[in-house]
Amino acid sequence: LTRFEKTNEMLSNFNSLSSTRYQDIEAQFRKHINLMNASKKDLEQIFKRIR
C-alpha cells in the first residue's frame, strides 16, 4: 500500500510540474503564433503590391 501511495504522490508531483510548465510554454507559443500571423499579413500585403 505504501508503494502505491508513493507512486500516487510522484504522479501528482509530475502532474503539477507539467501543468506549470505547460502554462509557461503556452504563453510563448501564443506569442509565436501572433508573430507568424503578423508576418503572414505583411507578406501578403507585399505580394499584392508586387502584382
**Dihedral of alpha carbons 17, 23, 24, 28, sign:** positive
Cα angle, residue 38 at apex, residues 20 and 21 outer, rounded to 5°? 5
Domain holding 46, by residue range, is: 1-51
| Residue 47 parent element (H or E) | helix 2-50
pTM greater than 0.95 (yes/no): no
**How many domains does one find in the chain?**
1
- The alpha-carbon radius of gyration of the chain (Å, integer) is 22
| CA–CA dist 16, 27 (Å, integer) | 17
Identify the three-state secondary structure at position 23.
helix
Res 1: pLDDT? 83
Q: What is the pLDDT of residues 15-41, one digit of tens each?
A: 999 999 999 999 999 999 999 999 999
